[in-house]
Amino acid sequence: MKIDSYAFGRMVVDGREYTKDLILYPDHVDPTWWREEGHRLSLRDLEGALAANPDVLVVGTGFFGAMQVPDEVRRAVAAHGIDLRAARSAEAVDLLRSLSGDRKVVAAFHLTC
């Protein structure tokens, strides 16, 4: 999956535009991702991402970084042996692009706030 561009509320992945939050898997996009509490990430919100057993989970916390990633979520993801990296969504796009191709990466993006 290649992110072509990101702007507030909009992401283009492999030429296709998305305007809602999404999860990028190595082989597909889940454009239906949403969280139980909107701006507070929970472990349940990441069930699909964790089931994919990535080496790295990148979380885009929104254009302004409004989505919180609580410490308990960080600890639980680490307990699965997954490296969680959270940043504002534009920075998370850059991070995703920089990650080595030899590791399995899943990325969850909040596209607005």
Residue type, 5: S
Can you tell me the mean pLDDT for 20-39?
94
Which CATH number does the domain housing residue 91 bear?
A: 3.40.1230.10
Distance between terminal CA atoms of the chain?
23
Q: What is the pTM of this model?
A: 0.96
Measured CA to CA, the distance from residue 40 to residue 63 in angstroms comes to 15
pLDDT for residue 13: 98
The number of domains in the chain is 1
Host domain of residue 23: 3-109
Three-state DSSP at 92 gives helix
In this predicted structure, the answer to whether residue 52 has a pLDDT above a threshold of 90 is yes
User: For 67-113, what is each residue's pLDDT tens digit?
Assistant: 999 999 999 999 999 999 999 999 999 999 999 688 999 999 999 99
Measured CA to CA, the distance from residue 78 to residue 2 in angstroms comes to 26
